Amino acid sequence: MKTANFLNLLLAVALVLLCAELHFRRGASPATSVVDGRTAQAPAADQPTPAPEPEPATRPFHADAPIMEGPLPPPQRDEMPLGEALAKRRTDREFSTEELTAQELSDLLWAASGFNRRDERKLTAPTAINRQEIDIYVCRRDGAYLWKPFENDLKRVSEKDLRGLTGRRGANRNFALDADIALVYVVDWERQKMQDRPDDAKKYALVDCGFIGQNVYLHCAAAGLRTVFLGSLDPAAIAAELGLPETRTPVFAQTVGKAPRNP
Ligand SMILES: Cc1cc2nc3c(=O)[nH]c(=O)nc-3n(C[C@H](O)[C@H](O)[C@H](O)COP(=O)(O)O)c2cc1C
């Protein structure tokens, strides 16, 4: 009887030791997770917890205020059902000069290619191999701005009106000059990391732009805005004005604005 008790005790001690060993191993060898196409190491249990990702700054003034450099208000989601937005999606080439509010621009840019899964750093638009290689520039009368999607922030990069470098250039009337906004989609070929496969690089980048363009089309349908996706733009002139290095190319543009008051 005493021997059986002793054996039970020994078994219990062995079990406790085994559990402790398993627990220690889990803490000592961090799991891996894939973020932005790279393998990221989760912090070990004995390392300090990293600071949480910053939430996008909120604009210090009212969302109806005019757009200028700095943080945009947090985006709001479209309420129109997808089927209705699809039914309304269309190209328009007549616009009013009325400006979008900061809130309208924030909603537009989030729909275009904002972070919808911030913890995974993933976007509303897919990109091949999740390279996220398309930068969006917002061109307005008062200059051009680079949109930083994670911060939802605008950084002014030119004080010139570049809208006329998109759309029907040379025509009597370029509709791109009527609308408030010309979005310019710029591919960062270095971020895409496909220099050894130039055909795939081009194919993927153009498709990635197309997804953004369709997001913008659907958002405009839902938000009562007008838009036209544009293959006609002057990439060299825009690149020069934006101060882009050779590794970044404007590939498409998209006019966004409001309907004329009396069309
Ligand atoms: C890749 C691509 C390039 C385009 N480029 C231009 C353009 O340079 N100028 C223009 O006025 N429309 C352009 N469009 C808009 C098309 O003309 C428009 O989508 C087409 O006429 C169909 O009309 P919908 O969008 O109303 O269905 C382009 C569309 C796509 C998909």
Q: Assign residue 81 the CATH number of its domain.
A: 3.40.109.10
Mutate to test the pocket of ligand 1, among 91, 174, 185, 216 (most ligand atoms within 8 A of CB): 91
Q: What is the mean pLDDT of the chain?
A: 82
Q: Which of 137, 133, 162 is CA-nearest to residue 147?
A: 137
Query: pLDDT, tens digit, for every residue of 217-255?
Result: 999 999 999 999 999 999 999 999 999 999 999 999 999
CA of 232 to the centre of ligand 1 (A): 10
In a domain, 33, yes or no: no
Between 28-32, 184-188, 218-222, 255-259, the lowest mean confidence (pLDDT) is in: 28-32
What is the band of 69 on the pLDDT scale with cuts at 50, 70, 90?
confident
Between 87-96, 108-117, 167-176, the lowest mean confidence (pLDDT) is in: 167-176
Identify which has the larger pLDDT, 35 or 68. 68
Atom number in ligand 1 closest to CA 175: 11
Strand partners for 240? none
CA of 226 to the centre of ligand 1 (A): 13
CA of 254 to the centre of ligand 1 (A): 10
Domain, as residue range, for 191: 70-257
Neighbours of 100 (CB within 10 A): 22
In a domain, 230, yes or no: yes
Q: Which residue has the tokens 């309208």?
A: 104
Q: What is the mean pLDDT of residues 175-204?
A: 93
Note the pLDDT of residue 195: 82
Atom number in ligand 1 closest to CA 213: 31
Q: For ligand 1, atom 2, name the residue with the nearest CA.
A: 231
In a domain, 100, yes or no: yes
Q: For ligand 1, atom 6, name the residue with the nearest CA.
A: 230
In a domain, 248, yes or no: yes
Task: Give the number of domains in the chain.
Answer: 1
In a domain, 15, yes or no: no
Residue 144 has pLDDT above 70, yes or no: yes
CA of 228 to the centre of ligand 1 (A): 6
Atom number in ligand 1 closest to CA 217: 25
CA distance 262 to 225: 15
Copy the structure tokens of residue 161.
């009106």
Mutate to test the pocket of ligand 1, among 228, 252, 256 (most ligand atoms within 8 A of CB): 228
Identify which has the larger pLDDT, 261 or 181. 181
Neighbours of 210 (CB within 10 A): 14
In a domain, 173, yes or no: yes
Residue 58 has pLDDT above 50, yes or no: no
Residue 112 contacts residue 219 (beta carbons within 8 Å): yes
Q: Which of 112, 130, 150 is CA-nearest to residue 35?
A: 130
In a domain, 75, yes or no: yes
CA of 53 to the centre of ligand 1 (A): 38
CA distance 218 to 94: 18
In a domain, 236, yes or no: yes
Residues having CB closer than 6 A to ligand 1 are 90-91, 93, 228-232
CA of 229 to the centre of ligand 1 (A): 6
What is the band of 81 on the pLDDT scale with cuts at 50, 70, 90?
very high
Copy the structure tokens of residue 172.
């009597």
C-alpha separations of 237 from 144, 164, 173, 216, 241 in Å: 13, 11, 20, 24, 6
